[in-house]
Amino acid sequence: MSEPTDASAGGVPGPRTAPVSSPSAAPSARPHDGPDADTSQTGPGTSSAAAATQMRYVDLTGSREAAGRSIRLRDMARRLPQLVRRSLALAWQVDRRATIGLLLCQAVTGVMQALGLVAISGTLTALLTGGDVYDRLLQAWPSVALLAGAAGVRALLSITVSWLSSRLGPLMSREAEHMLLTGCVEAELCAYDDPDFNRAREAADRGAQVTGDLINEGQDLIASSASFVAGALVLAGVNWMLLPLLIAASLPQALAQISAARVRYLANLRSNGDLRMLSVLRWHIYTKDAADQIRAGTMSAFLSGRYRETVARINREDRAAADTGARMSLVGALCGGLGSAIVWSAVVLLLANGRISVGHAGTAVFALQTVGQSVRGLVAVGARAVRTGLYMDDWSSFLDKAGGFRMRRGPRRLEPPKTIEVTSVTHRYAGKDRDALSDISLTLRRGEVTALVGYNGSGKSTLSRLICGLHLPTSGQVLWDGVPISEADPQALWQQVALVPQDYARWPLTVRENVNLGQPTARGDAAVHEACEAAGADEVVGTLGAGLDTLLAREWLNGEELSGGQWQRIALARAFFREAGLLVLDEPTANLDPRAEFRIFQRLRELARDRAVLLVTHRITNVAVADRIVVLDEGRIVQEGTYAELAQRPGMFQRLLSYQVSSTERGRR
Ligand SMILES: Nc1ncnc2c1ncn2[C@@H]1O[C@H](COP(=O)(O)OP(=O)(O)OP(=O)(O)O)[C@@H](O)[C@H]1O
């Protein structure tokens, strides 16, 4: 799903950030493009420092910074059980047997650890008591056998745990990603224009990626807890005073580790804007899309320079975090060493006072090591797991609300429409300070072709998206046979829509799937061939080696690349294939040669017989095919009528027509 993101650079999900300035929009339809993914263009003469500032992002809400600062021992203790529960719940969802296996293995490992320590105690006691060496060895061997058996079983269990975890981890990540994709398609289309949604989605994406880590972290936590309990029980059996003493001695090291984890997390957070910028730069540099323009525009030095500047800033943050973390760990280790010296002194004191036997003292040595190691493990893995949990919070909160944009429309199932009425519709995009459409009213009818014309930015595509029910209007209504689209079941409504947008998708699928969009009809390939013929795509299919089975993705083995116009024919075939009551063509012939364009417009009247057709085009002479022409200017309808009427009437349509006619004439001269 994703273009490479922060992950490879060790990054973190997006904080609630906003651009410092408003960078220009990156090309649309790229993964991770959103307002955050914009790249600023630096004009000539702009200093690189200024450009770098322009391209950085700041955390406006500070919510993730606050979350990062909350990595403290208290918060960790509160959150760790939740995290283990969450990881087990997801693991249970993807593979129950493996989850049960893991839990059993962990439980048995804990028991084996305790048995091992008991066996050490038995061995030492037997060996250190007085008497004949042979007798002592004879007494010790059951304990030695138990020790060896417990160690062997633990080794086997550890292999099983890592096998099961490595099976579960990827499954969990993929399931989390699948849930994220479902969340995305359940969001309203307008969500993609909202910076908050884009940020929430990117953060959730990182959360989905790290979900698999949680199973390992959860397992490490359970393992450390089990070995802590086993060691603590044995230690308390030797002398209960040793246990609190050991925990107190481990505390400084634990605190140092948590502080170091917090420093690293916050450093990642500060680099977040740069990490995002890196992923955008990487995407543009190594994919094919801009490869020709990077070369022809001699941009490689500029882009590499920008890449290096960004990497240098990230490196500086990383270095500072590593240095601070190392200093903290050093202080923690010194305090930990001092603590250990106190604990060992206590053991010696107890032994000297005769309060514990030599055998018990030996057992205490091993138990102390076990408990000390497990406390350090708990803290280290705990800090990591809490960090992972922060990312997973982003993921699960996105799933709950689809970033706050979950589609909630009505249940009414629509039939192919006889009329579509737009009544007093005004629409404004999120974050914009002016309306894209103001007070629009018009009616589309089955059997009619309606054309929308107007200058760039006049609102034609916006209006066509509203008519298709892709956006809901800010005010006013779009009614399909009297039913407001907000009350209609969106999936049933879109079954009735055949849309060729300006930027149509070039699916890396076979020709057949590119036309039927994965929804074949009972007529099978015959219907696909018919749609291809209507769109002039039959000529394209004829040149492809594997016909409808040809994969339209050159970069993959056996794939084929199509020209811009050939792709447009496929996109048109897609729309003609759909048995829908509304056909919307937004600049359908922009890439077509005159012969192909002629064929399409010839077919249009025939297609309109049993559906409503909406045509958006800048080629004014083509709109003669329409029954009615609606002229838009700055989001308002300024003229309406037939071609003959509008061509005679002074106004915008005449002006648009005169520009086209005079440019054609200039071309002839
Ligand atoms: N997704 C969006 N988010 C914010 N503003 C948008 C969005 N899409 C369009 N706009 C704005 O709405 C206005 C109308 O745009 P629209 O794409 O509908 O115009 P158009 O007439 O189809 O233009 P063109 O002829 O260039 O295709 C423009 O000012 C544009 O900047």
In the numeric block, the tokens 């650079």 are attached to 9
The rounded Å distance from CA 436 to ligand 1 centre is 7
Higher pLDDT, 601 or 448: 448
Higher pLDDT, 132 or 294: 294
Bridge partners, 614 (sequence order): 450, 584
**Closest residue to atom 24 of ligand 1, CA basis:** 456
pLDDT the model gives residue 663: 55
Higher pLDDT, 445 or 605: 445
φ and ψ of 108, to 5 deg: -65, -35
**Closest residue to atom 30 of ligand 1, CA basis:** 457
pLDDT the model gives residue 71: 61
How confident is the model over 111-122, as pLDDT tens digits?
A: 887 788 778 777
- Mean pLDDT, to the nearest integer, of 401-408? 75
**Closest residue to atom 4 of ligand 1, CA basis:** 429
Which atom of ligand 1 is nearest to 458's Cα?
A: 21
Using most ligand atoms within 8 A of CB, pick from 28, 460, 587, 617 the residue to mutate for ligand 1: 460
Question: How far, in Å, CA of 276 to CA of 266, rounded?
Answer: 16
* Most confident stretch, 43-52, 186-195, 277-286, 634-643: 634-643
Which atom of ligand 1 is nearest to 635's Cα?
A: 14
**Closest residue to atom 16 of ligand 1, CA basis:** 459
The rounded Å distance from CA 472 to ligand 1 centre is 15
Count of Cβ atoms closer than 10 Å to residue 29 Cβ:
10
- Mean pLDDT, to the nearest integer, of 594-621? 87
Q: Does the structure show a pLDDT above 80 at 600?
A: yes
**Closest residue to atom 8 of ligand 1, CA basis:** 462
The rounded Å distance from CA 29 to ligand 1 centre is 15
Q: How confident is the model at residue 661 (pLDDT cuts 50, 70, 90)?
A: low
pLDDT the model gives residue 24: 32
Task: Kindly list the distances between the CA atom of residue 620 and the CA atoms of 131, 330, 501, 585, in Å, as whole numbers in the listed order.
Answer: 111, 75, 18, 14
The rounded Å distance from CA 59 to ligand 1 centre is 28
φ and ψ of 436, to 5 deg: -80, -30
Tell me how far apart the terminal alpha carbons of the chain are, to the nearest angstrom.
51
The rounded Å distance from CA 634 to ligand 1 centre is 10
Which atom of ligand 1 is nearest to 464's Cα?
A: 18
* Most confident stretch, 135-139, 343-347, 563-567, 662-666: 563-567
Q: Does the structure show a pLDDT above 50 at 597?
A: yes
**Closest residue to atom 17 of ligand 1, CA basis:** 461
The rounded Å distance from CA 489 to ligand 1 centre is 26
Which atom of ligand 1 is nearest to 502's Cα?
A: 27
The rounded Å distance from CA 457 to ligand 1 centre is 5
137-159 burial code (b ≥16 CB/10 A, e <16): eebbeebbebbeebeebbeebee
Higher pLDDT, 257 or 185: 185
pLDDT the model gives residue 498: 93
How confident is the model over 45-80, as pLDDT tens digits?
A: 344 444 444 444 444 445 555 666 656 667 666 766
**Closest residue to atom 19 of ligand 1, CA basis:** 457
Task: Give the whole-number percent of the chain exceeding pLDDT 70.
Answer: 85
pLDDT the model gives residue 557: 63
Count of Cβ atoms closer than 10 Å to residue 556 Cβ:
10
Rg (CA), the chain: 34
**Closest residue to atom 28 of ligand 1, CA basis:** 457
- Mean pLDDT, to the nearest integer, of 219-247? 79
In the numeric block, which tokens belong to residue 193?
């224009």
Using most ligand atoms within 8 A of CB, pick from 461, 466, 656 the residue to mutate for ligand 1: 461
Using most ligand atoms within 8 A of CB, pick from 22, 33, 428, 429 the residue to mutate for ligand 1: 429
**Closest residue to atom 12 of ligand 1, CA basis:** 436
Residues 95 and 167 sit within 8 Å (Cβ to Cβ): yes
Packing angle between helix 358-401 and helix 300-352, nearest 10 degrees?
150
How confident is the model over 254-291, as pLDDT tens digits?
A: 788 778 877 887 787 778 778 878 888 888 888 877 88
The rounded Å distance from CA 462 to ligand 1 centre is 6
pLDDT the model gives residue 38: 34
Question: How far, in Å, CA of 206 to CA of 215, rounded?
Answer: 16
How confident is the model over 353-368, as pLDDT tens digits?
A: 888 877 778 778 877 7
SS3 state of residue 480: strand
**Closest residue to atom 27 of ligand 1, CA basis:** 456
Q: Which of 96-105, 307-316, 327-336, 552-561 bottoms out in mean pLDDT, i.e. has the lowest?
A: 552-561
The rounded Å distance from CA 458 to ligand 1 centre is 7
The rounded Å distance from CA 108 to ligand 1 centre is 63
Using most ligand atoms within 8 A of CB, pick from 458, 616, 619, 637 the residue to mutate for ligand 1: 458
Q: Does the structure show a pLDDT above 70 at 665?
A: no
**Closest residue to atom 18 of ligand 1, CA basis:** 459
- Mean pLDDT, to the nearest integer, of 520-528? 91
CA nearest to 331, candidates 255, 267, 383: 255
Residues 409 and 489 sit within 8 Å (Cβ to Cβ): yes
- Mean pLDDT, to the nearest integer, of 658-666? 64
**Closest residue to atom 29 of ligand 1, CA basis:** 457
Q: Does the structure show a pLDDT above 80 at 540?
A: yes
Residue type, 559: G
How confident is the model over 290-349, as pLDDT tens digits?
A: 888 888 888 888 999 989 999 999 999 999 999 998 998 889 888 888 888 888 888 888
The rounded Å distance from CA 463 to ligand 1 centre is 10
Higher pLDDT, 385 or 56: 385
- Mean pLDDT, to the nearest integer, of 93-104? 89
Q: How confident is the model at residue 403 (pLDDT cuts 50, 70, 90)?
A: low
Q: How confident is the model at residue 668 (pLDDT cuts 50, 70, 90)?
A: low
Q: Does the structure show a pLDDT above 90 at 640?
A: yes
CA nearest to 653, candidates 618, 627, 603: 618
The rounded Å distance from CA 27 to ligand 1 centre is 14
The rounded Å distance from CA 487 to ligand 1 centre is 25
Pairing of strands 419-427, 475-480: antiparallel
Q: How confident is the model at residue 638 (pLDDT cuts 50, 70, 90)?
A: very high
In the numeric block, the tokens 């061939």 are attached to 529
Which atom of ligand 1 is nearest to 465's Cα?
A: 18
Count of Cβ atoms closer than 10 Å to residue 109 Cβ:
24
CA nearest to 332, candidates 381, 376, 384: 376
Query: What is the predicted ipTM?
Result: 0.98
* Most confident stretch, 170-184, 290-304, 470-484: 470-484
CA nearest to 611, candidates 643, 640, 579: 579
Q: Which of 66-70, 211-215, 508-512, 576-580 bottoms out in mean pLDDT, i.e. has the lowest?
A: 66-70
Average pLDDT score, the chain: 80
pLDDT the model gives residue 280: 83
Q: How confident is the model at residue 89 (pLDDT cuts 50, 70, 90)?
A: confident
Which atom of ligand 1 is nearest to 452's Cα?
A: 21
**Closest residue to atom 5 of ligand 1, CA basis:** 429
The rounded Å distance from CA 203 to ligand 1 centre is 28
Which residues, 6 or more positions from 335, have their beta carbon under 8 angstroms from its beta carbon? 252, 253, 256
Using most ligand atoms within 8 A of CB, pick from 462, 463, 464 the residue to mutate for ligand 1: 462
Q: How confident is the model at residue 90 (pLDDT cuts 50, 70, 90)?
A: confident
Q: Is 376 exposed, middle or buried (0-12, 13-18, 19+ CB in 10 A)?
A: middle
**Closest residue to atom 9 of ligand 1, CA basis:** 462
**Ligand 1 surroundings by CB, under 6 angstroms:** 193, 429, 432, 436, 454, 456-462, 502
The rounded Å distance from CA 429 to ligand 1 centre is 9
Which atom of ligand 1 is nearest to 429's Cα?
A: 4
